[in-house]
Amino acid sequence: MATRRMVLIQSLRTAAAAAALHACRPLEMFAGERRQSNAAPGQTSPHAPDEMTVNSAPQPQHYPQPDFGPPPATLPPEAKAVSGRHSLAAHARRHGLVAGAAVVVRVLEGDPVLQQLAAEQYGMLVPEAELKWRALRPAQDRFDFTASDTLLAYTAAHHMQLRGHTLVWHNSVPDWLSENAAHLDVRQLLTDHITTVCAHYAGKVHSWDVVNEAIFPQDGQPNGLRKSFWYEHAGPDYIDLAFRTARAADPHALLTYNDYGVEYDNADQSERRRLVLELLRGLKSRGVPLDAVGIQSHIKAGSPDTIGKGLTDFMEGVRQMGLQIFLTEMDVNEDDLAFDDIARRDGAIAKTYADYLQIALANPAVKAMLTWGISDRRTWLNDGPTHHRKQPNRPQRSLPFDAAYRPAPAFFAIRDAFDRRT
């Protein structure tokens, strides 16, 4: 089976695809390179953005991923035991949900066992970066759909759905664009980009994160809008423009506003929730096409803050606007856990999943739940400076499958949470 799938993926490589993929630098090539942070650990520089942005900002050099050795040659028996009707996909389906995960296409492509695991466990995939501007637009006059087309072919071959992420994000602006913005018609470029990308995938994607992370009250702009490249160069109404353009190019995809920092019961996130709801209400009142809200769900184990009423009320507010909800990027950052024992850490991570999903899945508007990665072999939480600040030498165990593709306690917590859904 694994061999058959590998053959499939390999056969998807057209000559053009192979050329583009071979141009990618493998992650190992970044080992040993380390970018110096401008701020001391625990401090933020005057212009330091939030954790999400720090970690996902385009980095000249990657933090090295931990070396887990080569991926497993076969699916371990523990993973086989939770396949078929025991899988996340099957349990989710029985409770009105789609279970999904984010993948790095190059990683999936090079790992036939991961391909098998993904096809067994999920009903939906989303590329971590391959549909963003920086990946799709190597130059102003070029679109490179090689990697995302490969993923579309893979999901279609396995009867999975594909999510699109993301058409507008402050953190994925190609250099050719940011460096020449003063001489370019950015508004027109945004419109053309969305039209081309949405048309390319029209009728083939489940949903698009049309705009990602547009709220950032620290920037002091009206309505809490982030003073992003798009806000400044395409105009403060760029969100309306993006959604309208996406709908025109693909009438079938569910158009989603996606954001983070709305999960916890604290003052900052309470304000962010208020601002997101205000943004959504504004979009609806202006007749802007909008179908869903993505709650990223990057949460932490061992956090002093709790998750409860704030999230519940927020989700209910979204539901009452007639919108669907997707949990789009869930993972559990375990950097705050002060102990090293793996069983204890896994228990704390699983409980964090369970507690969160008990609250989040209670709302019937939730239709999909995706984790931001499949296995601890590949998680953005090991990429950057912020998320292993306290435990720099300890790879995160944040995802449903461990680095050997065995289901972790988190897997069972997620599956149980699906089952508890009425």
Catalytically annotated residues: 213, 329
> Who's near 175: CB < 8 A, 6+ residues apart?
none
DSSP strand E in 233-300: where?
Answer: 254-259, 292-295, 298-300
Q: Which stretch binds ligand G3I (CB under 6 A): 127-135, 180-188, 220-228, 241-249?
A: 127-135
Cβ 421 vs Cβ 96: under 8 Å:
yes
Gap between the Cα atoms of 126 and 272, Å rounded: 25
Q: What would the x/- binding string for ligand G3I be over residues 175 to 214, using CB under 6 A?
A: -------------------------------------x--
Residue 324 makes contact with ligand G3I by CB under 6 A = no
Cβ 201 vs Cβ 152: under 8 Å:
yes
Q: What DSSP assignment string belongs to 200-245?
A: HTTTT-SEEEEEE--B-GGG--GGGB---HHHHHH-TTHHHHHHHH
Which residue of 128, 263, 334, 376 would you call a contact of ligand G3I, by CB under 6 A?
Answer: 128
Q: Which stretch binds ligand G3I (CB under 6 A): 52-60, 91-99, 229-237, 354-362?
A: 52-60
The residue among 314, 362, 261, 237 whose CA lies nearest residue 50 is 261
Residue 109 makes contact with ligand G3I by CB under 6 A = no
Neighbours of 192 (CB within 10 A): 13
Residue 142 makes contact with ligand G3I by CB under 6 A = no
Query: Which residue's CB is nearer to ligand G3I, number 174 or number 310?
Result: 174
Q: What would the x/- binding string for ligand G3I be over residues 381 to 420, using CB under 6 A?
A: ----------------------------------------
Which residue of 122, 133, 154, 380 would you call a contact of ligand G3I, by CB under 6 A?
Answer: 380
Cβ 388 vs Cβ 381: under 8 Å:
yes
Query: Which residue's CB is nearer to ligand G3I, number 87 or number 398?
Result: 398
Q: Which stretch binds ligand G3I (CB under 6 A): 50-58, 116-124, 224-232, 261-269?
A: 50-58
Residue 240 makes contact with ligand G3I by CB under 6 A = no
Provide the minimum distance between the beta carbon of 21 and ligand G3I in the complex, in angstroms, as a whole number. Answer: 9
Residue 58 makes contact with ligand G3I by CB under 6 A = yes
Provide the minimum distance between the beta carbon of 297 and ligand G3I in the complex, in angstroms, as a whole number. Answer: 10
Task: Identify residues 5-24 at the interface with ligand G3I (CB under 6 A).
Answer: 24
The residue among 136, 246, 239 whose CA lies nearest residue 202 is 246
Task: Identify residues 263-302 at the interface with ligand G3I (CB under 6 A).
Answer: 296
The residue among 8, 4, 23 whose CA lies nearest residue 109 is 8
Which residue of 79, 89, 104, 254 would you call a contact of ligand G3I, by CB under 6 A?
Answer: 104
Cβ 131 vs Cβ 166: under 8 Å:
yes
Neighbours of 42 (CB within 10 A): 7
Q: Which stretch binds ligand G3I (CB under 6 A): 126-134, 221-229, 265-273, 345-353?
A: 126-134
Cβ 317 vs Cβ 262: under 8 Å:
no
Which residue of 115, 146, 172, 396 would you call a contact of ligand G3I, by CB under 6 A?
Answer: 172
The residue among 268, 264, 350 whose CA lies nearest residue 310 is 264
Query: Which residue's CB is nearer to ligand G3I, number 93 or number 134?
Result: 134
Residue 52 makes contact with ligand G3I by CB under 6 A = yes
Which residue of 5, 17, 56, 242 would you call a contact of ligand G3I, by CB under 6 A?
Answer: 56
> In the block, which residue shows the tokens 């950015």?
186
The one-character DSSP state at 160 is -
C-alpha to C-alpha distances, 258 to 32, 167, 193, 320, nearest whole angstrom = 34, 11, 19, 17
- Contact residues for ligand G3I (CB under 6 A)? 24-25, 52, 55-56, 58, 104, 106, 128-129, 132, 172, 212, 296, 329, 380
